[in-house]
Amino acid sequence: MDAAEFRRRGKEMVDYVADYLEKIEERPVYPDLEPGYLRDLIPTEAPCEPESFEDLMQDVERVIMPGITHWHSPNFFAYFPAASSYPAMLADMLCGAIGCIGFSWAASPACTELETVMLDWLGKMLQLPECFIAGTHGHGGGVIQSTASEATLMSLLAARCKAVRRVQAVESERSESDVLSKLVAYTSDQAHSSVERAALIGAVMMRKVPTDEHFAVREEMLKKMVEEDKAAGLIPFYFCATLGTTPSCAFDHITKLGPLCNKENMWMHIDAAYAGSAFICPEFRPLLNGIEYADSFNFNPHKWLLINFDCSTMWVKKRTDIIGAFKMEPLYLKHENQERFRSLKMWFVFRLYGLKGLQAHIRKQVALAKEFESLVQADNRFEICAEVILGLVCFRLKGSNELNQNLLKRITKSREIHLVPCQLSGRFVLRFAICARTTESRHIQRAWRHITQLAFELLQEQPH
């Protein structure tokens, strides 16, 4: 393919993409296929001779599209949103063209510098305390990671390194392996599985802190565990708080947990993967109060801030903590396999939406969640299972777990909308997350009519 053909195909591809997104609603949101469907549809080996672009695009419709779960369909309400916007897609094209690998400043100066500035811009949108902003002289700063899981792991490893050094500074005879075997990390029993995985990779103990009736960690619960563990000769060193848990969007009490962590010399990392984007709105910013006690903070603009995957943003209060643990380039928190020019997507989205445009997106989606919540509340066969704070509604039919499992089976089978469940205090709960950028009130109303119709049929069939 030469430049002339690229111009032609590129324009065709832009049309294909715009058509796909404009008409996405006409496609079933969830595929109707068995695992292994794809192998039979394509040859067993790569072609020897080059093929035509037309043939390839025909196979996109024949082979790929039937096997896509359409995350950007306005009828997709599963998991959490996967951000997508036209400005971010355009930036991705440009990023592909520049194709640089920014592992050091010299390897691509604009890539390295734009990233630190974009993290400052975003940090200011969230009104992060000054200590997290790099500016020109700050000790803190931000970096883009691929995922929240990666950010959590990084914070845990940095905390581990710091804890070993701290203990050895006063007990110089203690070996590193002895200290490591005594370290204990904590997180909520509602935390994302990646937090536990970080402890596995970091080879440290991790204890799950039980949550209150709102699925949040309170200071007393962590304090009790820390005291027990210290009495048993262990060394508490790390707490990963969650703001906006994956099952129910619950918020740990960081204004109280933070001072406890600071007093106990425990690193506090905040995982706000989903909820973080909402903190750009002044009315939701109080949910982040207590951030001043944290050592590191992360959220995923690739979930809810219209920046396509991957873009997970992490800030630390002291860059030297991370640099010490990973021996990275002093000025920028880069690691060796630092990838593409991801900050371009941020720059495009921030400039073409503006803070106001981004706030409008968050507010619209929260309003849609509230609208769905009212529909559920108005139907006495159903109940709301967790407070609706942002764009997620947890609900269920009053009745057994089995009844709700059957309802979800019917929803999934009908393929009109897509939802996933969660478990809350042993109860099987349906999660309704506002996901697509193009979801409107009419989709919420239609989804609810669909759910109540399936529930009606199900209840009719129940033995009385």
Decide whether 199 or 235 has the Cβ nearer to ligand PLP. 199
Least Å from the CB of residue 249 to ligand PLP: 9
Comparing CB distances to ligand PLP, the nearer of 159 and 390 is: 390
Q: Which is nearer to ligand PLP, 52 or 193 (CB)?
A: 193
C-beta atoms surrounding 357 within 10 Å: 14
- The smaller minimum CB distance to ligand PLP, of residues 204 and 273, is found at 273
Q: How far is the CB of 227 from ligand PLP (least distance, A)?
A: 27
**Looking at beta carbons only, is 153 or 164 nearer to ligand PLP?**
153
Q: Which is nearer to ligand PLP, 24 or 151 (CB)?
A: 151
Sequence-ordered alpha helix ranges (H) in 23-108: 53-59, 86-98
Is the Cβ of residue 407 or residue 429 nearer to ligand PLP in the bound state? 429
Q: How far is the CB of 18 from ligand PLP (least distance, A)?
A: 27
CB of 176 to ligand PLP, least distance (A): 29
The nearer residue to ligand PLP, 179 or 305, going by C-beta atoms, is: 305
Give the binding site for ligand PLP (CB under 6 A).
80, 147-149, 192, 194, 242, 245-246, 271, 273-274, 300, 312
> Considering the complex, what minimum distance in angstroms separates the CB of residue 234 from ligand PLP?
26
**Least distance in angstroms from the C-beta of 97 to ligand PLP:** 26
Q: Quote the least distance from Cβ 190 to ligand PLP, whole Å.
A: 9
- Nearest distance, CB of residue 192 and ligand PLP, angstroms: 3
